[in-house]
Structure formats: C-alpha cells, structure tokens
Chain A
C-alpha cells in the first residue's frame, strides 16, 4: 500500500507572528519553519500503518521554494520513504486551487492508494487544498480524519464530527484530511535524521499550472489588543466569585 502525504511548511506554532510593514504579509526573518501541525498528524497516521505493515510505502510531497526541503527532510527523518518537491518561480504564491492542480499531476504519476494531508495548514487556516485535490482527481474525500483501517476491499475512515465519529469506507483512492488524534507525531530518530540528510529529493516544475481564483489579502493586523481587565488579587476567592457573577450580569451583560 502506498500513501502520499501532502505537507506544507509553515512558521512553527510557538512563533509570535508579526505583520510586516507592508501590512499584507508577515515577517519571515528569524522565523523557525516547521511542518504544519495537522500534516504531522497525517504523517504519523501513515507511519503507524507502516509499523504494522512494513511493506507500506509512505511518500511525501510539498509545493514551495528551496527551504521547503527542510520540511520534507523532517518528514523523511520521521520515517517516510521518499519525498518530492514541486517548485519553481512563484511556487510560494500559489492559491489553493493552483496547489491542488500541482499536486494532482504528481498523484497521477506516483499512483498512491490514499492521499493524506492535514485538515488545514496553520498559516492560512483555509482547509481548501485537500478537498480541492480530491475534486481535481475525481476522488471522494473525508475530512477531520482521526483513524484509518485499510483492508483488502477498501479503507475504513473515522471522521470526527460533532458528538462522535462517522465511519466511512472508501473502496478506492481517496483524499483524507487529518485531524489531531490521540497519538502524537513521533520525533525523528538520530539514524532517521542521518538517512534523511543523504536522500535525494527530486523536483517537479510548477510551470504552466492552472490557478483559477485568488484571494487578495487587503490587510493583515494583529488581533485587537486585550488586557487592562479587572484582576482580583490577594483576597477571599469566594467573595471574588460572588462579585464576578454580579459583574458578568450587570457590567459585561453576558449572563
């Protein structure tokens, strides 16, 4: 069985993201880049399957500029088998439908049984590429996936929804967008890191790909500042609790 996992390189989740002076992008100097968190859960989901079925091939792919190779090497070090980078001028600027089209051509060549990606990237938070890739391929997709059970006649897929999980069965190819699950993504092993350093990462060009719609960023800003709240210190917690209930009712008007 072969998995293809689409990953995106994003600022690490501990980064304090700052809006750049132009007001339409973020400061990238000094940012630590990392695999988008949900993509890491997707990698883990596939590697868990490989743990039980060692003939499983876990391939990874990303669209981006040269530094994107660091993210691919990070996934190789976790235990993925091979990596491909779709790159070229403007590869960083592609909208979701453009990225989906770029990935589609790679899927047709690499012929995975299942394609996995995170439920959304942690930079633009759109959650568009996965369903758009499935649409481009004419495949079904299942979102918010926390567990899979491949078998001879298809794959059972657990979709986290409100109040529980819907279990679906895909008889053939499908795109799964992965949600956080109980199993944390594994850390790269030292031998894994050494091996990943030596692996060739083949490149595919982005040229001539369709990117039909764009989302223009008019303005980025930090969320409205908060603070200056009423903080009760050094006193009777029970009395504060009673006072707080009155404030929430009479001042904040939220009770």
Chain B
C-alpha cells in the first residue's frame, strides 16, 4: 500500500496536522511525505499545486493521497482528485484500508449526520486536524519537494492580512477554542475573551450572530456557514446553541458552556456547564486556569 501525505508548513515547521497524518499513514502502508514548492513567490494556486502533484502521481501511482483538511489542503485535494479522476473523501475524521478500498468516517449535513463511506482505491482524502493522535517526541518526517505546475490564466496579485489574526493558532487546527456569542453583548468583551484564550493557548471562535453583527471577522464563525471544529476543549461563552452552531462543534472532545439562560440548548451538548453571568465568569475562570496550569 503506497500512501502519500501532502504536507503544509507554517512559520514554525511542518503543520501539526501534517505530522498527525504522517504518523497515521505509517500505520497504513509505505508512506511518502511530499510538499509542494512554489516556482516563484510564496503563494501557489490550488490548480498549480494539483498539476505538479498529478504529474508525479501519474508516474508513481500512490494508492491513497492524504491532505490535512485546511483551506489549502481541501482545495488542492479536490482539484487533484478531479485531475486524476479519483474518488475524493473530504474532511474525514477516521480512515481505514479495507482490502482494495478505503473506509472513512466523515460528517454530512454540516455535522448533523455522521457517515461511513467507502471508495475504491486509488483515492484522495482530506483529514480533519486532531482526528489522529500525535505522540510526543516523534522526529519530523522526511519531506520530499514537488515543484508546482503551471496555472494558465491565473496570477497572484497580493496578500491582504486580516487585522485581528495576529499570532493565534488557526481555528481549524486548534486544540482549544474559546468561542463567544451574543451574550457577550458587544465587541469590547473580546478583551476578556482574548485574555482567557491567551492563558489557554486557544483559538478564537464566534457564533454567527457575532460575525454577522461585525463584532468579529467572518473567518472566526463556527457552525453551518462557518467552520466545523473538533478541538479537545471548546468553551462556549454566551452562546445559546442554535442547531447550525451545534452542528459545527458537537464533535469537540469536551464542551464547556456558560450562559445565563438555564434552558439554552448549548447545555444539552455540554460536558460542563455554568448557568451564570459570563462577565463574572470570565475573569475568575482566567485566573483559575492560570492557577490550575501552575499546578495549584
């Protein structure tokens, strides 16, 4: 069984999801970790990346090509699968090889349904961050460079950074997410939310009400028209728990909810809940986490 993992890099080395996949792939078969190199500049279009990978895949015939389900990974994976005319399994949360097929678990209907799907090999899949464990102290996998191909009719113009994104872990890859809803009453509350996120090393999330109101950027929205997330810990502050929001976060390992409405739907999915004032909770909990982390 020949498995490819297409890795992505962040400023401090290979992305965690790439390492998770390399470790998982090694249990499935003979693994090669590849990384697409830009031919010029630093931005590679999905079509250029897929073209470079397809050329090599045609020559080497991998059985299964795995991507992290990041925005870039999903985009390149879909184009590559189309190029190679292979089945594409997107945003898988589990994978197994069964004979000459791959079986995967993935969400459908924005997470309202869990599907087990099967595709004949060869196939392409993208896998959610945090789907597979990553043991501490593993050496970085060896990475083979693949040159991007051409993207006729498309050129890179510029990058426009989001003002508020400075230095935080990405939402899709975060192990801990602190998410805020309408109950936080306004954008000023995020000073306190960010203080908690800093202590936890967490990414910031938001309900749709919050991004629609312009309190937070759209890319922080969790739920049906936002991101589906699967962190170890999801803390929902002042979020009532509309079905579209729940769909995006119920696969989190541990869910904490704080809301003053005892009947809020968010409590139905919470592992720990506090019925109370989120503004009393936030500073007290931030201090308590500091103490807990320090071993007190």
Residue of B nearest to A146 (CB): B218
Smallest Cβ distance from A15 to chain B, in angstroms? Answer: 8
Give every chain B residue within 8 A of A233 (Cβ-Cβ): 262, 275
Q: For residue B144, which residues in chain A have a CB less than 8 angstroms away from its CB?
A: none
Instruction: Tell me how far the C-beta of B190 lies from the nearest C-beta in chain A, rounded to whole angstroms.
Output: 18
User: In the complex, which of the residues A168, A182, A238 contacts B155, with contact meaning CB atoms closer than 8 Å?
Assistant: A168
Minimum CB–CB distance from A220 to chain B (whole Å) comes to 5
Residues of B close to A100: CB separation below 8 A: 82
Interface size class of chain B, counting residues whose CB lies under 8 Å from the partner chain: 35 or more
Asked if B115 and A217 make an inter-chain contact with CB atoms under 8 angstroms apart, the answer reads: yes
In the assembled complex, the Cα of A97 lies from the Cα of B119 at a distance in Å of 14
Interface members, chain B 141-197 (any A CB < 8 Å): 151-162, 165, 170, 172, 176
Beta-carbon contact of A182 and B214 below 8 Å: yes
Nearest residue (CB) in B for A234 is B275
Given known pairs A182-B214, A254-B253, the reply for A97 and B82 (CB within 8 Å) is: yes
- Assess the B157–A143 pair: CB atoms within 8 A: no
Contact A244 B272 (CB under 8 A): yes
With contacts A128-B81, A244-B288 taken as known, whether A162 is within 8 angstroms of B71 at the C-beta atoms is yes
- Among A161, A217, A231, A240, contact of B267 (Cβ-Cβ < 8 Å): A231
Please report the C-alpha to C-alpha distance between residue A135 and residue B288 in the assembled complex, in whole angstroms.
Answer: 53
Q: Which residues of B have CB within 8 Å of A232? A: 272-276
Q: Which residues of A have CB within 8 Å of B89?
A: 215
Which of B18-26, B55-63, B277-285 forms contacts with chain A?
B277-285
Closest Cβ–Cβ distance, residue B131 to chain A (whole Å) = 15
CB distance from A181 to the nearest CB of B (A): 7
Central interface residue in A16, A120, A126, A217, by most chain B CB within 10 Å? A126
Contact A245 B289 (CB under 8 A): yes
Residue of A nearest to B107 (CB): A125
Name which residue of chain A comes closest to B44, CB basis: A166
Confirm or deny: B1 has a beta carbon within 8 angstroms of a beta carbon on chain A.
no
Q: Are A132 and B78 in contact (CB under 8 A)?
A: yes
Query: Interface on chain A toward B: helix, strand, loop, or mixed SS?
Result: mixed
* B120 at the binding interface (Cβ < 8 Å): yes
A19 to chain B minimum Cβ distance, whole angstroms, is 6
Give residues of chain B (94-133) contacting chain A, Cβ–Cβ below 8 Å.
Answer: 103, 106-120
Q: Complex Cα distance A134/B152, Å?
A: 12
Q: Given A134-B79, A223-B111, A229-B267: A170 and B224 within 8 A (CB)? A: no
Chain A, 150-185, contact with B by CB distance < 8 Å: what is the 0/1 string? 000000101011111111111111100001111010
CB distance from B281 to the nearest CB of A (A): 5
B91: which A residues are within 8 A, CB to CB? Answer: 125
Residue from the list A96, A140, A235 in contact with B154, Cβ < 8 A: A140
Distance, CA A166 to CA B155, complexed state (A): 11
Judge if B9 is at the interface, Cβ distance under 8 Å: no
Contact yes or no, A227 B269, CB < 8 A: yes
Chain A residues near B244: list those with CB within 8 A: 13-14
Contacts of A158 in B (CB 8 A): 160
Instruction: For A160, list chain B residues within 8 Å (CB).
Output: 71, 218-219
Known: A163-B162, A169-B154, A215-B119. A96 touches B275 (CB 8 A): no
> Is A53's beta carbon under 8 Å from chain B?
no
Verify B87–A221 contact, CB threshold 8 A: no
Determine if B78 and A127 form an interchain contact, defined as CB atoms under 8 angstroms apart. yes
Contact among B153, B170, B212, B288 for A139, CB-based, below 8 A: B153
Across-interface contacts of B225 in A (CB, < 8 A): 13, 37-38, 180
> What are 5 A-to-B residue pairs whose CB atoms are below 8 Å?
A125-B91, A127-B74, A140-B47, A144-B71, A255-B292
What 11 additional pairs, Cβ within 8 angstroms, besides A125-B108, A135-B82, A254-B254? Answer: A123-B108, A126-B90, A162-B170, A212-B85, A213-B86, A221-B113, A223-B107, A230-B272, A232-B275, A238-B284, A242-B291
Interface residues of A (CB under 8 A from B): 11, 13-14, 16-17, 19, 26, 37-38, 96-97, 100, 120, 122-128, 130-132, 134-136, 139-144, 146, 156, 158, 160-174, 179-182, 184, 212-224, 226-227, 229-235, 237-238, 240-242, 244-249, 252, 254-255
- Can you list the 3 inter-chain pairs with the closest CB atoms, starting with the nearest? A237-B276, A245-B288, A140-B154
